[in-house]
Amino acid sequence: MSGSIHVQPIAGALGAELSGVDLSEPLSDAQFSEIHHAFLTHQVIFFRDQSALTPDKQKAFAQRFGTLNVHPYVSGMPGHPELLEIIKEPHDKLNFGGGWHSDMSFQETPALGSVLYALEVPPYGGDTLFASQAAAYEALSDGMKTLLEGLNAIHSARREYSARGASAQDRQSMSAKTAEDAPEFEHPVVRTHPDTGRKGLYVNPAFTLRFSGMTRQESRPLLSFLFEHSRDERFTCRFRWTEHAVAFWDNRCCWHYALNDYPGYRRHMRRATINGDRPV
């Protein structure tokens, strides 16, 4: 891409690192256009050395792409309800986001994207994995694509935010509540991206319960296949965090997974999530 921002892809399926822009400063229209193009092209983009990204400035950057989400089950940052402080203390056993998922697919209008900022990272580990659900869909056989085109799936926070769910567990520096009665919403199994027109799978292990009109038992074989297929190494990239790095991913077309492989160390991230539209 021409312009002041350099875009360096990091994997074949998705992911690119961008340099030449300070996200704490207001973006010019040209800079916004370049970043937006890279975001749509690579599905997840990364920025390093963003040391001046205060909460207000992180929100201002995210708001260039849409309105901000207030999480229904996790308490936001004091004074900034739109921001989640995602913290794993050295003695915490579980991390937040430690499984493949797409943010907020359990809502009627799931998230467009998420902007995650690293405030403190462990000396090793704590990488985030991403998986392109567009690439996963495109690798399926024509017969499987035809089968999936006619299916919808039920998404809910009920399992992940149950009393035994990983996301609702007590952490010293994060406050979440259980959602045993969380609502269910129906989304297409194959989603068409509203900006690119590219088709992708839209189910995930954390929040997809079953196919519409089927029981969980009936749904399990095909969902298990899709979950296994969708995280195939061919469709993934991996980001090694550094202090003050930023990741901005498209929840409409990719999964992510925060690795929990840094026992005894602290990791402190800050997330803004951008509201999206209802999948079609």
Residue of 248, 38, 41 lying closest to 130 (CA atoms): 248
Q: Average the pLDDT over 30-46 and give the result.
A: 98
* pLDDT tens-digit map of 21-36: 999 999 999 999 999 9
Instruction: Report residue 3's pLDDT band, with 50, 70 and 90 as the boundaries.
Output: low
* pLDDT tens-digit map of 55-104: 999 999 999 999 999 999 999 999 999 999 999 999 999 999 999 999 99
Residue 1: predicted pLDDT: 39
Tell how strand 199-201 and strand 190-192 pair up: antiparallel
Q: How far apart are CA 227 and CA 11, in angstroms?
A: 21
Q: How far apart are CA 127 and CA 125, in angstroms?
A: 6
Instruction: Report residue 169's pLDDT band, with 50, 70 and 90 as the boundaries.
Output: confident
What integer best gives the mean pLDDT of the chain? 96
Q: Average the pLDDT over 185-211 and give the result.
A: 98
* Catalytic (active-site) positions: 101, 103, 256, 271
Residue 62: predicted pLDDT: 98
Tokens 């797409």, residue located: 102
Q: How far apart are CA 114 and CA 133, in angstroms?
A: 16
DSSP string, 39-71: HHHHSEEEE---TT--HHHHHHHHHTSSPBP--
Residue 280: predicted pLDDT: 97
Q: Average the pLDDT over 155-176 and give the result.
A: 86
Residue of 186, 212, 188 lying closest to 200 (CA atoms): 188
Q: Average the pLDDT over 150-177 and give the result.
A: 88
Is the per-residue pLDDT at 245 higher than 50? yes
Residue of 74, 103, 110, 117 lying closest to 245 (CA atoms): 117
Residue 180: predicted pLDDT: 86
% residues pLDDT > 90 (the chain):
91
* pLDDT tens-digit map of 130-154: 999 999 999 999 999 999 999 999 9
Does the predicted TM-score (pTM) go above 0.75?
yes
The 10 Å Cβ neighbour count of residue 114 is: 23
Residue 219's alpha-carbon distances to 78, 82, 110, 145, 187, in angstroms, are: 41, 35, 22, 17, 15
Higher confidence at residue 165 or residue 216? Answer: 216
| Three-state secondary structure call for residue 146 | helix
What's the distance, CA 80 to chain centroid? Answer: 20
Is the per-residue pLDDT at 123 higher than 80? yes
% residues pLDDT > 70 (the chain):
99
Residue 167: predicted pLDDT: 85
DSSP string, 4-28: S-EEEE-SSSS-EEEES--TTSPPP
Is the per-residue pLDDT at 157 higher than 60? yes
- In CATH, the architecture of 66-275 is 4-Layer Sandwich (3.60)
